[in-house]
Amino acid sequence: EMDEDGAREAGKEQVVLMWGYLPGVSPQRSPLLGPVPVRLPPAAAGDAWRDVCGGGCGFAMAISESGKLLTWGSTDDMGQSYVTAGKHEETPEAFPLPSDVAIARADAGWAHCVAITDEGVVYTWGWKECVPTGRVIADQASVGTLEKDERQSAIANNQDNKGNSIAVSPRSQVSRTSSGAASGPSESRGTEESTKRRRLSPAKQGNDSSTSGDENLSAPPCVVTFNTGVKITAVAAGGRHTLALSDFGQVWGWGYGGEGQLGLGSRIRTVSSPHPIPCIESTSYGKDRLSAMKGNKNAEGQINKVTGNRVTAIACGGRHSVVVTDSGALLAFGWGLYGQCGQGNTDDVLSPTCVSAILGVKMQDVAAGLWHTVSISADGDVYSFGGNQFGQLGIGSDQAETIPKLVDAPSLENKNARSVSCGARHSAIITDEG
């Protein structure tokens, strides 16, 4: 990006700032109430910050110039599956991936991580149900072994962590904690769906975290295998699901799909290898209208004009997914209880479906939190919908919205949004002026 290169030419070193809840960093686990600089570890002498990429439940992630994935912020007693996802305590440390691997982008869910290399190879690790059964590349005895079974270990960890924010300067890019990652599945307690979920007893977790009860629920890093020739350019981690975007604009998904967040047309609970998600072919304003148009060449052309030919941006919420196409259409699928799929109702959406209320507006980017979605248009306007218990929609109320609302706060007057990010229950944008 221009501002990034300009900053480098001027000899300015990038600074990473953190605030919010990072238990391994703050004394007595109190949240950091304002931005605090993050120090590069001594082992990274000569390296520099390149980008931030969010974090999961109480841990943070960033990428260095040399392509190392640096993690920090969690604590030993958070359970092995959380520690697996990121190095604990306050000093960032390179996550143990093969030494010749240069990471370009990464994201984290509740307790799993996904990263892509410069070459478009995808690595993932953490909660076992989020990791495809694939080739294990790291031998981390403390993490447990990658078992071939695909148990539906629908884990819920009763932690209510506060969302954390990480920002990098001078590059004006908000960290994409798109999954609303800093929040466990217990958020949905009280909903009928969550009462059916089997819970993991936290009582097993003793002082020695390496032998804690959820050790065998974690998988070490593995390479995710796609069809020959597929190069991945973007990844997004939801609460317990993952999306990947190829250079041809095809979306792939795997992990937990019980609310439709994998867009495969059903409530499939466990998808243990990457599946192509039919974002363009099957998308419509509604299935009835699509079937009525089938065979009508003009009508089919109209559909393509609306939904586009390829996906250009992806984001995962806690239990829902959103994508933007090259025509600027916004498609959503998954959990709909708070209206986070933008369909004007609170139903789950099992296949990629156009957010038709804003079809006339060309969207450019999107982010998703635990219960909400925020998108920005090519003109720099901000639209938000879904859960709003904490004001995360930015519309001046705390009422949920089931269709997109234009965010017209006075602070945004005459300003254009350029990038957007959602934590579990808060949102952030950066304007084109940084």
Q: Are 372 and 383 in contact (CB under 8 A)?
A: no
Q: Check residue 218 and give its pLDDT.
A: 84
Q: Are 132 and 112 in contact (CB under 8 A)?
A: no
Q: How far is C-alpha 8 from the chain's CA centre?
A: 28
Verify cis geometry, omega within 30 degrees of 0, for the bond prior to 35. no
What tokens appear for 50 in the block?
Answer: 């390149």
55-76 confidence digits (pLDDT tens)? 777 889 999 999 999 999 887 7
204-208, 279-283, 317-321: least confident range: 204-208
Spatial distance between the Cα atoms of 57 and 357, rounded to a whole number of angstroms: 33
Q: Check residue 58 and give its pLDDT.
A: 80
- Backbone phi, then psi, for 408, in 5-degree steps? -115, 45
5-60 confidence digits (pLDDT tens)? 444 445 578 999 999 888 888 778 888 999 999 999 888 888 999 999 877 778 89
Tell me the CA distances in angstroms from 176 to 67, 237, 380, one per residue in order.
18, 10, 18
- Backbone phi, then psi, for 325, in 5-degree steps? -105, 170
332-378 confidence digits (pLDDT tens)? 999 999 999 999 999 999 999 999 999 999 999 999 999 999 999 99
Cβ partners under 8 Å of residue 92, min gap 6 = 38, 39, 40, 41, 44, 60, 62, 70, 71, 72
Q: Stretch 202-221: mean pLDDT, rounded? A: 52
Q: Check residue 419 and give its pLDDT.
A: 96
Say what the pTM is.
0.79
**Percentage of the chain with pLDDT > 70?**
70
Q: Check residue 54 and give its pLDDT.
A: 78
Tell me the CA distances in angstroms from 124 to 127, 133, 185, 242, 400, one per residue in order.
10, 11, 20, 9, 33
What is Dmax (Cα atoms) for the chain?
66
Q: Which residue has the higher pLDDT, 297 or 21?
A: 21
DSSP-assigned letter for residue 192: H
Q: Is the pLDDT of residue 197 over 50?
A: no
DSSP-assigned letter for residue 88: B
Give the number of residues written for the chain. 434
15 in the Ramachandran plot: left (φ > 0), alpha (ψ -120 to 50) or beta? beta
Band of residue 4 on the pLDDT scale cut at 50, 70, 90: very low
Cβ partners under 8 Å of residue 147, min gap 6 = 128, 216
Q: What does the DSSP assignment read for 89-122?
A: SSS-EE----TT--EEEEEE-SSEEEEEETTS-E
Q: Check residue 339 and give its pLDDT.
A: 98
Band of residue 83 on the pLDDT scale cut at 50, 70, 90: low
CA torsion sign for 264, 176, 70, 204 is negative
Q: Is the pLDDT of residue 114 over 70?
A: yes
Q: What is the mean pLDDT of the chain?
A: 78
Q: List the domains of the chain with CATH numbers.
A: 14-39+48-134+219-283+298-432 (2.130.10.30)
Q: What does the DSSP assignment read for 291-334?
A: HHHTT-HHHHHHHHHHH-SSEEEEEE-SSEEEEEETT--EEEEE
Q: Spell out where 363-415 has E strands.
A: 363-368, 372-377, 382-386, 401-406
**Percentage of the chain with pLDDT > 90?**
55
Q: Check residue 228 and give its pLDDT.
A: 87
Q: Which residue has the higher pLDDT, 98 or 305?
A: 98
